[in-house]
Amino acid sequence: MDDAAATTIVAPVTPPGAGAVSILRLSGDRAFPIARRLTGVDPAAHPPRTLSRCAARDASGKEIDSGLVAYFPAPNSFTGEDVAEIHLHGNPILLEEVAAAACASGARPAEAGEFSRRAFENGKMDLTQAEGLCDLILARTAASARAALRQLNGGIRDAVAPLKERMLSLLVLLEASIDFSDEEDLALLSVAQISERVSEIRASLFAYLKSYDLGHRLREGATVAIAGVANVGKSRLLNRLLGEERAIVTEVPGTTRDYLSGEITLSGIPVRLVDTAGLRETEDPVEREGVRRSREILAGADLSLFLLDASRPADDGDRGAYAEVAGRPHLLLLNKSDLPSVESGKGFYGGGSRGILSLSAKTGEGIAGLLEALARELVPGGSAMMAEAPMTRLRHADAVRKAVSALERAERAVGEGLSLEFPAADVREAMLALAELTGEIAPEEVLNSIFGSFCIGK
């Protein structure tokens, strides 16, 4: 092959396995002639971006399948190159045969993430959009999918673009007063105006940073552990929340030996609920192993629900178990509210004033309140954030945090009366951080890891 840039790639873009329809995508300089050879449909004779009936044939002219083909001329295509998509019946064997025929005509199989990479390379999407695409395909809830879609549509870029603009115009003024201070009365900013502008931008960025709390939960979901000593009703609560009899519930303490889990959706966030073995010291090696695993779950959970049995006074066992969650995000629940209550939960929470929820896993009383509390804990700011495109990855939050702290330094520098080249250096750093966010100057590692995590065909 003479020309690397002209390489045409081919791969299915629908998930592997049998389905009603599968789509094969060709992208590159020779996508049209190759697709024409496979389907007999002349791209010049058909309007772009519309489906035409076709018969897919191999090199020898033998018909493989009947299907549809659409042509997307560059640059108005997914990759920014000429793209042809062939719809076939959803049989992996057919798909493979047509792909092989395409390769025989000069295409080669796409590598993982290569379509996206080309789209990125051709300026069809920025880094956050490429990530959004990946997330959209893997989204577990409708809300996650919506967030990913917004990101794919450039939501993050659009959210930071005006801030970048503002930084740039500020930087321009700073630089002007540094480099042209020998010019006559250049209209420039006062120190007060500079720090006002910096702090406005910082505040907006900081507000946007908050969207990560929701965004990363949408993408990654949340893990909620149910904890407490034996027999407080952990398994029964799990079953109640899942709405199915997942865990075994008995009046025998130590019923649950190994943790088990189920998933629910809360405010659009996929939440994994994990029922754990009751926390207690025991000689039984099986139960001991269960407790060890419980502790692991507790350590990794985003939130724990700590249960007390309200029908009996809390004892040292409860207090000892509580000590294990006390340092982490948790809610205190008084279970078995259907029975006469003897335990108020006071003395837990370090005597603090946070709410204690009373509920009954048996009757379902208080469960609605629990769900609300859960949503509040997992999504601070709640669904108000849903209006914009939330940041979904640690990488995003890190970049914005870097920008925020650079701007904080700029404010401090201005406040301390340092000369303008110092805040200018800070503002530059902040801009650089945001540019990294959208991939304008992404270091190789970021790019490689991002593109490496793409599944083939996207």
Indicate whether 360 belongs to the interface with ligand GTP (CB under 6 A).
yes
The smaller minimum CB distance to ligand GTP, of residues 40 and 369, is found at: 369
Question: Residue 10 has which token pair?
Answer: 């081919």
Partners of residue 328 on adjacent β-strands: none
Nearest to 77 by CA among 31, 35, 124: 124
Looking up tokens 């025929």 gives 101
Indicate whether 4 belongs to the interface with another protein (CB under 8 A).
yes
Indicate whether 256 belongs to the interface with ligand GTP (CB under 6 A).
yes
Among 156, 232, 370, 427, binds ligand GTP (CB under 6 A): 232
Distance CA 186, CA 144 (A): 50
Interface with another protein by CB under 8 A: which range of 132-140, 264-272, 296-304, 442-450? 442-450
Nearest to 12 by CA among 116, 88, 72, 104: 88
Kindly report the number of other CB atoms within 10 A of residue 89's CB atom.
Answer: 16
Footprint on this chain of Mg ion (rule: CB under 5 A)? 235, 255-256
- Find the shortest distance in angstroms from Cβ 79 to another protein: 10
Indicate whether 121 belongs to the interface with another protein (CB under 8 A).
yes
Nearest to 82 by CA among 34, 114, 38, 45: 34
Residue 441 contacts which entry, Mg ion, ligand GTP, another protein, none (Cβ below 5-8 A, type-dependent): another protein
Residue 444 contacts which entry, Mg ion, another protein, ligand GTP, none (Cβ below 5-8 A, type-dependent): another protein
DSSP for 3-57, please give it: -STT--EEEE-SPSS--SEEEEEEESTTHHHHHHHHH---GGGS-TTS-EEEEEE
SS3 sequence, 265-282? EECCEEEEEEECCCCCCC
Taking residues 160 to 179 in sequence order and writing x for each that binds another protein by CB under 8 A, - otherwise, the string is ---------------x--xx
Distance CA 234, CA 349 (A): 19
Indicate whether 362 belongs to the interface with ligand GTP (CB under 6 A).
yes
- Find the shortest distance in angstroms from Cβ 308 to ligand GTP: 11
Distance CA 232, CA 334 (A): 9
Among 284, 315, 372, 421, binds another protein (CB under 8 A): 421
CB under 8 Å to 399, separation ≥6 — which residues?
A: 433, 434, 436, 437
Indicate whether 60 belongs to the interface with another protein (CB under 8 A).
no
Indicate whether 405 belongs to the interface with another protein (CB under 8 A).
no
Residue 231 contacts which entry, another protein, ligand GTP, Mg ion, none (Cβ below 5-8 A, type-dependent): ligand GTP
Among 7, 256, 267, 358, binds another protein (CB under 8 A): 7
Indicate whether 40 belongs to the interface with ligand GTP (CB under 6 A).
no
- Find the shortest distance in angstroms from Cβ 229 to Mg ion: 11
Distance CA 146, CA 313 (A): 47
Indicate whether 254 belongs to the interface with ligand GTP (CB under 6 A).
yes
- Binding stretches for another protein (CB under 8 A): 1, 3-5, 7, 80, 100, 103-104, 106-109, 117-118, 120-123, 127, 175, 178-182, 184, 409, 416-422, 424-425, 428-429, 439-442, 444, 447-448, 451
